[in-house]
A and B are shown apart, each in its own frame.
Chain A
Amino acid sequence: MSVSELMQTMDYGPAPESPAEALDWLAGHGNRFGLFIAGRFTEPRAGVEARNPATGEGLAMLTAATPGEVEDAVAAARQAQPKWAGLGGAGRARHLRALARLIRQRARLIAVLETLDSGQPIRESREMGVALAERLFHHHAGLAQLLEQDLPGEVPLGVCGLILPSTLPFVMLASMAAPALAAGNTIVLKPAERTSLGALLFADLARVAGLPRGVVNVVTGGAAVGEAMVAHPGIDGVGFAGSAGVGRAIRAATAGSGKALGLHLSAKPPVIVFEDADLDAAVEGAVEAMCSRGPAGGAGARLILQEGIAGDFLARLKARMAGLRLGGPLDKCTDIGALIDEGQRDHVAALVAEGAAEGDLFQPDGALPERGAFHPPTLVSGLAPASRLMQAEVFGPVLVSTTFRTPTEAVQMANDARHGQVASVWSETITLALDVAAGLAAGVVRVNGANLVDAAGVGGLDGLTAYLRPEGRGKRLKPPAPPRQGDPLARAERLWIGGRRVPPSGGQARAIHGPRGQVIGHVGLATREDVHAAVAAARKAQPGWATQGAQARAQVLCTIAEALSARAGEVADLLRTMTGGPGAKAEVAQSVERLFTWAGRAGTQAGEIRPGPTRGTALAMAVPLGVIGALCPDEAPLLGLVSVLAPAIAMGNACVLVPSEPCPLAAAAFCEVLEASDLPGGVVNLLTGAHAALAEPLAAHMDVDAVWSFSSADLSAGIERAAAGDLKRSWVNHGRARDWWGAEGEDRAFLRAATDVRTILIPWGA
C-alpha cells in the first residue's frame, strides 16, 4: 500500500519479532534434545515433537525420560548437592546473579523460544515472562546472600523435583527454581510435555553461567516422568505448579514420605469490581487478566461485579475486547496468541459452549487465522456462582462474570475456590478495598491492579522457607503403650466443646494409669461425632476471635497464663501423679512462660511490609487459617498442649486439640484454667481419646483448615493422605520428637503453620 493509503487506513502494520535466533539455537542442537543430566545433554531419542501451536510446525524432537534416566538425574543432583550447599548463601548468590545477568542478555532468545513453543504473545513472553524471571533470580540472590543471617538453623531440603505447568513455563520455572537453588538445593526440572523448550534452554544457560554440574538437571517426557519423580525416594522436596487435581494426587502420593511439598495450584482468579471503582481501569485489569496466562497455569478470570454497575462495566468491557488484536504470537502488537495446542483449544471451546447456555456469550467480530490453535476473546456474562464455567479452569482468553450485592457476598463468591493464588479488588475507597482484600483467600491480592504475580508477591523469606528444613532431626518417638481397661462405672473426665464440658457421644471412657500402674482417673473417649461437634463450635467461634484484634487476644492469653500460674501447685501435683517425673513444677512454669511468649507474639507479629510496586507498598499480612485440628505430643502432657494451643489461638485461629494420649488428665486440669480465663467458648476445644481414632476424622474434615500432628503414634502418612482430599495444610512430625522445652517448642515454624501469608499490593497516586 502507498503511504497516502496508509495515512487513511492508519493500520499498525506488522511488527514481527524475528524467530531467527531461537531457530538457530534449536538448529545448534540439531533440533533434537536429550535430557540434561550432570551438566550434559544425553543422546537424544525420538519421543514427543515440540510444535509451534500458532502454525503447527514442528520445532524439535524431545526425549521421553526412562525411569533409569530419572534415577540418573536424581543421582547427579544428589551428588552435586553437598558442594552446592557448602558454597554458602553468598557463593550461591553469585551464581544466581550470573544467571539473572545471562537471562537479561539472552532475553530475546528466551522470549521468542517461549512464544514459538507456547503460542503466547511475544510481548507477554518478554514483559511477564523473561523480565520477571530475571527479577526473581536477582531477588533470590539477595535472599541467599542474607540466608544464614536471617534464617539461622535452617538447612536445604536436599534434592528438589520441580514439575512445571504448560503455561507461562519460564516464569514458573524461575519462581520455583530460584528459591530452591537459593536455599541450597539442587534441582531436577520436569517441564510440561507440551512446553519443554524453555527448561532445556534454561539448562543450557545454567551451563553457560557456570553452575556446577548436577545442580540443574532437566528430564522431559509425559506424566509418567513426573510420577516417577514424585515417587522417587531420592527426591526430598517436590514443587508443583498446575491443576488442583494433580496437586491432590501428588499430596496423596507423597503422604508419609517426609517429602516437603510446595504446590502452586491454578484457580480462576476473582476480579471484584465495586460501584465506586475507576471502571475504565477495572476493564483494563480484566482484559489484562484475560490476555495473560495465569501464574499457575490457569487463565481467564471470574469477574464479580456489583449489580448496579454490571451493565455499564460489561458494555465498556465488550467495546475494549473488540479492539484486541488476535494473531501471530511473534507480532509485537498481538494481544492474544495461540493456545498450547488444538486439543486445549477444543477443550476451551467446549467449556465455553456449555457456559453460553447458562449466560450471555460475547465474542467480538473478526476472523481467526486459518491455521493454529486460536480461540477468540470471550466473555460469558450473567452466570451464577453455581455455573460450571464459573469455576472450571479454562486455559484460554475467557472471562466469566456474575454479580453481587454487598461486600460480604463478593468475598464469599470469590473465596469459593480456596487455593487461589491471586485476586484483585477494584474500589477507590480505601476502607472498603482493604476490608475486602483482607478477607480474600488468595496469596496475592491486588488493590486496583490486574491479576499478576511479581517478585513482591511470590518472593520474600516466606517463599524461601518452603525449600528449607530445620537442621537436625529429632529422635524417633516411641509409640505409647496401649490403654488398659478401666472401671466402666467410674466417673470420667468429660470432653470440652464450645466452652462446655460434655460427655463423649459414644459414652466410652478409659482408665488412666500412673507410672506404678495404679489407676489415677478416667477420661472420656471422643468419637467422630465429637470431632464434628468440636469443629462446628470452633468454626462458629473463630471469626469473632479473629476480629477481636491481636491486642485483645494477647490479653486473653495473659489471663490464661495467670490462671495457670495461680493453680501451678495443683497442676504440678497432677502431672507428678501421672508421669512420676521430677520436672512437673518446671513444666508448669515453662507452660506459663510459653503462654506469655505467644501473648507477646500475638501483639507484635502481624506480618511485614515489603517493597511493593513502583509507587505503593506490599503488605505481607499473616492471617489466621481458621480452624486448626491438632494431635498434641504425648510427652510433656501440659507443655506440649500449651505449645500447640498458644500459637494457634494467638494468631486468631480456633482449634480442636487432642491432648496427650497416655496422659490426658493434664488437659482436664487445663480446662479449669481455661474456664477461669477470659477465653471465649469454642476457641479451644479439647477431645481426649485415642490419637489413631481421631486423626483421620480431623484430617479429612473439610471445615478444618489445617491439621497438625505431634503424636508419637505412627499417623503422619494417614493424616497427609486424608488432608490431600481438600488440600488443607498439614504439619506432621513423621514420628520424630521435638524439644518442647527449648526454642524449638516456640520457634517461627509455629507462626508460619498458624497463619497464611496474604500479600496485599497497594499502589497509590492522586
Chain B
Amino acid sequence: MPPDAPRTETPPHAALPLVSHARNPGLPLDMDWLRTARVNRPAAERRCASLTACRPVTGVHRVAWLLRAVGLIDLTTLSGDDTPGRVHRLCAKARQPVRADLLDALEVDGLSTAAVCVYHEMIAPALAALRGSGIPVAAVSTGFPAGLSPMATRLAEIEASVAAGAAEIDIVISRRHVLLGDWAALYDEVAAFRAACGPAHLKTILATGELGTLTNVARASLVCMMAGADFIKTSTGKEPVNATLPVGLTMLRAIRAYHAATGQRVGFKPAGGISTAKEALVWLALIKKELGDRWLSPDLFRFGASSLLGDIERQIEQHVTGAPSAAWRHPMG
C-alpha cells in the first residue's frame, strides 16, 4: 500500500489510538531553530536532583497518582522468546492491571493500561486477547532495536504492522544521522515513517543512550517533531543507558518549545529502566512541572515498562491493607 493512500478499511478489531487532540502535522525542517537548541547537563541534573530530593505526594494522593500511572503504561514484552500464550497473559494483565478487590476497596473502576506493546509477530495474538477492551496494540518496528535494516524493509515493516492492526508504531531512528549531524537525513527518514504509518500513531525512539550529549537529544527531538512524530520516546530498553531524568527533562522541554512555537502537542514516552513506583511518581511530577497536567493523559504520555506495574501493585496493596505486600500476591502478566 502506498504510504499516503487513504485507508479504506480499518483493521479488524483494532482499537483506535487514544486521541483527543489534532495530530502533529509537522513542519519543514528548521535548521536555525536546531542550531539554537542547547542543553546544559549540570543544570539539567540539578533540576532533576531537586525533584527527586522532595517526595511530592503522600498518602491517598500517592495512591491516586499511582493508579493514574497504571493507566499510562504501555505494558510491554519485547523478547525473542515471546509466544502467543505469554502475550495473552500480558493482555489479561493490561485489562485488569490491579487486583479487582484492591480497586473495589479504593472505589476505582474501569482501570486498564494505556496499550500493549509487542513485536510485529505478536500483534495478532495481542489483538485477539484485547478484543472488546478498547486497549490499542503498539508494535515496535523498523528493524527494532538497531534500525539498520534496509529502508524499504523498514517501511514495509511499518505497513505490515499497521495492516495487521497495530494502532501505534514505535520506530527507531538511525542514530548515525544524529551523531553525524545529518539532520536532513533524519528528517526525511522520520517523515517517510510517518507517511507509512497512515492513521497509526508514530512514536519515534531516539535511543538517547547512544546519542552522546543532551544537546543531541534536544535536536533529535525537535527534528522528529518537525517530521511529524506523534510521540517522542527515549529508548528501546536495549541500550546500556535508558530513560534517565535529565534526558526526559531535555525531551519535555523540546516538546514544550515545539508546542509554544506551533500549538501542536506531541506526546512523550520514557522507556526502559523505570521499574519502581517511586520512580514513576518522580516522572509524573516532572511532566506536571515542565508540561502541565494536560500531558498526564495516555494520549500524551506513556511509560514504556514491563516490571513497573508489579511494584505499583504492591504499593497499592500496602496502602489498602497497611502491610507490605509481596510479588506472589499479584497475578503475573
User: Taking beta carbons and an 8 Å cutoff, which residues of A are in contact with B?
Assistant: 2-4, 6-7, 10-13, 15, 123, 127, 275-278, 280-282, 284-285, 315, 323, 332-333, 426, 428, 448-450, 613, 615-616, 763-766
Contact = CB atoms under 8 A, between A and B. Distances in A.
A3 B289 contact: no
Nearest to B63: A3
B67 A278 contact: no
Contacts of B68: 7, 10
Sort chain B's interface into a size bin: 35 or more
Interface in B253-285: 253, 260, 284
A15 B46 contact: no
Contacts of B39: 278, 281
B58 A10 contact: no
Given A278-B39, A616-B42, A766-B212, A6 B60 contact: yes
Most interface-central of B61, B67, B108, B296 (chain A CB within 10 A): B61
Contact of B42 (A13, A323, A332, A449): A449
Most interface-central of A2, A7, A616 (chain B CB within 10 A): A7
A3 B57 contact: no
Q: Which 5 A-B pairs have the closest CB atoms?
A: A13-B61, A765-B41, A6-B64, A281-B43, A763-B42
A7 B64 CA distance: 5
A284 to B, nearest CB: 5
B43 A3 contact: no
Contact of B253 (A15, A280, A764): A280
A280 B214 CA distance: 13
Nearest to A615: B42
B53 interface: yes
B56 A7 contact: no
Contacts of A10: 64-65, 68, 284, 288, 293, 296
A214 B219 CA distance: 61
Contacts of A281: 39-40, 43-44, 47
Given A6-B60, A127-B53, A333-B56, 17 more contacts: A2-B107, A6-B64, A10-B64, A10-B284, A15-B55, A127-B50, A278-B40, A281-B39, A281-B40, A284-B47, A285-B43, A315-B260, A323-B289, A333-B54, A428-B40, A448-B40, A616-B42
A13 B60 contact: yes
A615 B49 CA distance: 14
A589 B62 CA distance: 79
A290 to B, nearest CB: 14
Contacts of A12: 56-57, 61
B317 to A, nearest CB: 14
B54 A123 contact: yes
Nearest to A448: B40
B106 interface: yes
Contacts of A766: 41, 212-214
B13 interface: no
A81 to B, nearest CB: 40
B311 interface: no
Most interface-central of B36, B42, B55, B260 (chain A CB within 10 A): B42
Contacts of B54: 15, 123, 332-333
Contacts of A285: 43
A13 B41 contact: no
Nearest to B254: A280
A127 B62 CA distance: 23
B40 A3 contact: no
B45 interface: yes
Nearest to A765: B41
Given A13-B57, A127-B53, A766-B213, A448 B43 contact: yes
A766 B212 CA distance: 7
Contacts of A763: 42-43
15 contacts: A3-B64, A3-B107, A12-B57, A127-B50, A277-B38, A278-B38, A278-B43, A278-B44, A281-B39, A281-B40, A284-B46, A449-B42, A450-B46, A765-B40, A765-B42
